[in-house]
Amino acid sequence: MSGFESVFTLEATQLKFGAGAAEELGWELARLGLKRVMLVADPALHTQGLVARIEAIMAKAGVAFTRFEDIRVEPTIGSLQRAVDFCAGHPADGFVALGGGSTIDTAKVANLISVHGGQIMDYVNPPIGLGKKPASPLKPLICLPTTSGSGSEATTVAILDIPEMHLKTGISHRYMRPSLAIVDPELARAAPSGVAAAAGLDVLCHAIESYISKPFNERPRPASPDERPPYQGSNPVADIWSLKAIEFSGTFLARAVRDGNDTEARGTMMLGATMAGIGFGTAGVHIPHSCAYPIAGIRHIYHAPGYAADHGFVPHGYSVIVTAPASFRYTYDACPEKHITAARLLRGHEISEPDAESLPRAIIDMMKAVGAPSGIAALGYGEADIPAIIDGAMKQQRLLAGAPKPVTPGVLDRILRESLNNW
């Protein structure tokens, strides 16, 4: 047998989608046999009545619960530790997460430590953390996303910021995948347009990066099935999910940003986020996400429209999209047909005279349409910061291993310089 992989796997979160789907939470809790849960909820949802609504559904089903809502947008290791400490004092047999990716990731980490103990850094991806693997499945986690972006309701990953190291990283393992995603378009109606824009651009990056990742059969064969990474490389099944998410983004993202009451657009982008989560949760992401972690972790001075103004940070969708045009300009010759297919789906029509600029131009036009920052300079970075960003990105070898072309510090220097201003 060759030294290359010949097997890929697909493990997906159960999905329940549609207007009013949240009303079936009580039935799902009963189906899973949950009697006491920890509700991890974004406190901003109180103003929309969503927290009270979900609590009423659980109470009607006879499920006891405690609520944790000390959520930080773009979680830090400190904010996650607060959730872990709360969980230790409020035992539960399962979790419900109500909110965006930050909320869902907080629930994932609280669940992990509550079952397997230890410190958060024990499980953080190496070389930053120890990369410890949980030995057995976690408690059930039901996710009710209220934004259309992270796809965390369908992935094995939780992302965290480590301020003292000036970078973001993650924890990833198959047991981190939620048990069920209840995706109800009505829950996304009140998200500010800026949040819809950043979240939707994250969907787009997830889908394109996973579709244009190193094919699974070009990766080294693992020593055992246990060593096969969650991010396995592009494959025929993951591609189906990713392609549909790209199409949805091209058709509905700008509409979802313009009008929160456009439930068709917001709902379809929510579905696209989950579909992209299934795609990249199997295939993986690479250069834009590797650059995004130091871009979000080094400086905290940007204030994005639609987000709380109590602290500066770069929303994840913006931190990934700013380097996407240059990244896909670089990867074009690895698989030109895939780049052109992605550009066609994003544009919604055939591409005349396709070339290496077709996909970058399509992404930049979408960025302009939804009011995204023009590049890393708009986020507060200059040429002098590029070495630090490169250093942080090169630490993300778990992700860079999935790029369809080799990634060196020199390659990242070129990408980042092109990404200072995309227009």
Residue 145's pLDDT band, with cuts at 50, 70 and 90, is: very high
Residue 299 CB-half CA count within 13 A: 16
CATH class of 21-183: alpha beta
Q: Would you state the pLDDT for residue 357? A: 98
Task: Give the rounded percent of residues in the chain with a pLDDT score beyond 90.
Answer: 80
CATH fold for domain 193-418: Dehydroquinate synthase-like, alpha domain (1.20.1090)
Q: Would you state the pLDDT for residue 349? A: 97
Delimit the domains of the chain by residue range: 21-183, 193-418
301-344 pLDDT per residue, tens: 999 888 877 778 899 999 999 999 999 999 999 999 999 999 99
Residue 273, number of CB atoms within 10 A of its CB: 32
Per-residue pLDDT at 164 exceeds 90: no
Q: Would you state the pLDDT for residue 271? A: 92
Alpha-carbon distance of 344 to 338, in angstroms, equals 10
Q: Would you state the pLDDT for residue 247? A: 98
Alpha-carbon distance of 107 to 322, in angstroms, equals 28
Q: Would you state the pLDDT for residue 305? A: 87
pTM of the model: 0.91
Query: Which residues, other chains included, contact 361 with Cβ-Cβ below 8 Å and sequence gap of 6+?
Result: 325, 343
Chain mean position to CA 151: 5
Domains 21-183 and 193-418 share a fold: no
